[in-house]
Structure 1
Amino acid sequence: MNTQLTFDLPSVPALGRDAFFVSPSNHVALALLEKPGNWSNRKMLLCGPAKSGKTHLAHVWAEQTGAQVFAAKDVTLDSVAGIAQKAFVVIEDLHEAAGDPDAETALFHAHNLILAEGGTLLLTGTDEPSVWPIALPDLASRVQGTALAQLLAPDDQLLAMVMVKQFADRQLTPPAKVLTYLTTHMERSFAHATALVDEMDRIALRTRKPLNRTVAAQALDKLAAAQA
């Protein structure tokens, strides 16, 4: 029996470059982020589905450039001047601030001042900005005028590697045949991959069983029942 499964160890995400798995669905976005000197107007918008690796890739970029990372919903008018003093800035989850008048105003001024001061700006958000409910026209036009680096829907190989990473964050290593079983039967989404890892971890901890096909099947059934 795998004794690691008897301890409820905290999940500590690995966000370094060596933990970012490159596949056909993300290699274009990665290539764009690796050359910020080529960005139009010194800004880029990294977008993609939930759990697609935006935060991971943004932190890789921040590590490489020395950028400071800020959550969009935490940017205020009082903080704009300080943020704009950074040479490289990441503002994450812009979609979460859409529809909040105060947040939109602060982000509009942050965008303008960062670029006016000669900084380089990486924004992140789910999907494409055209579907975000941004009410402030000036902010909407600037966001929609930003070049996109898109993370696409995952292929089987990437889904498997995402789950390998998330299991590793929990100090767990499932057999390859279990990963093959999961990618054959699961939904094709990063969110479902994350939910499966969480559920398998819970089942294994509760039953003190290794991460085998039975545990995988139980997790798939549990998630399917929750969506029914």
Structure 2
Amino acid sequence: MARQLSFELPARPARGRGDFFVSNANATAVALIEAWPDWPARKLVLCGPEGAGKTHLAHVWADLSGAMIVQAAELAGADVPALASAHVAVENASDIAGVVEAETALFHLHNLALAEGRSLLVTARAAPSAWAFALPDLASRLQGTPTCMLEEPDDTLLGAVMMKQFADRQILPSPGTITYLTRRIPRSFEAAKRTVEALDALSLSTGRPVGRALAAALLDKSGG
């Protein structure tokens, strides 16, 4: 039954391998994550738009490999040798492009982890070729790293992403709601995220369940 009471419940993302829906847009990335012991030079850059599943796949990889996960923005103050003692995933690395202290830490982490026989996963919105690096040595190492791009979703993946986002918020939409939405919103992860958030907020404010009628009211209001 769809949620009908207006309790604001925290979203708790499920990030296990079984919670990740595979489609043509991400099948190559999933295969690479699962085959991580065979990565050339033991490293991979995983990039794609916000909401494409980069963080989810980083957690899947951490479960498979025992890796630690660190945000790139936290590297400047991190214990790099300790991070390099295990396989490591660096999230949102494109955010530190041009930040010398953080780039320097990532450069040392890259070199030390690989020297210790560890594997390195880097996630970012864009491929390293598009980053405005401050350190040429880091640029050469990351631009020479095998890179996999997660694509914008097809209709099937878009529906699965929205269903997962609703589930993370403990919401069960009425039958037909997801199909109705995927035919009317832009085909992007960001649009799916905004729509789920807006429907959750509208449901909370009105006390109405998340269903096709509420979705229609939201899209009419937003001009969708």
Into which bin does the TM-score normalised by the smaller protein fall?
over 0.9
Letter in 2 for 1:206: S
Identity %: 50
Tell me, which stretches of 5 or more residues in structure 1 are unaligned?
A: none
Tell me, which stretches of 5 or more residues in structure 2 are unaligned?
A: none
CA distance in 1, matches of 2:3, 2:130: 47
CA distance in 1, matches of 2:137, 2:143: 10
User: Is the Cα–Cα contact under 8 Å of residues 3 and 210 in structure 2 kept in the other structure?
Assistant: no
What is aligned with 1:169?
168
What is aligned with 1:124?
123
What is aligned with 1:34?
34
Distance 1:2 1:152, change over 3 A: closer
Distance 1:133 1:143, change over 3 A: same
Correspondence list, 1:74-153, <5 A? 74-76=74-76, 79-86=79-86, 88-153=87-152
Distance 1:29 1:3, change over 3 A: closer
CA distance in 2, matches of 1:171, 1:198: 12
User: Is the Cα–Cα contact under 8 Å of residues 2 and 171 in structure 2 kept in the other structure?
Assistant: no
Q: TM-score normalized by structure 1?
A: 0.93
For residues 76-115 of structure 1, what are the alpha-carbon distances to aligned partners after superposition, in whole Å with 9 as ceiling and x for unaligned? 26511111111x1111110111111111111111111110
Alpha carbon RMSD of aligned pairs, Å? Answer: 1.6
Letter in 1 for 2:9: L
For residues 37-71 of structure 1, what are the alpha-carbon distances to aligned partners after superposition, in whole Å with 9 as ceiling and x for unaligned? 21111000111111101000110110111110011
What is aligned with 1:200?
199
What is aligned with 2:15?
15
What is aligned with 2:50?
50
CA distance in 1, matches of 2:97, 2:21: 30
Q: Secondary structure at the match of 1:122?
A: strand
For residues 204-224 of structure 1, what are the alpha-carbon distances to aligned partners after superposition, in whole Å with 9 as ceiling and x for unaligned? 111011112232133334555
Alpha-carbon distance, 1:194 to partner: 0.5
CA distance in 2, matches of 1:60, 1:163: 20
Distance 1:180 1:76, change over 3 A: same
| Range 190-199 or range 133-142, more displaced | 133-142
Q: TM-score normalized by structure 2?
A: 0.95
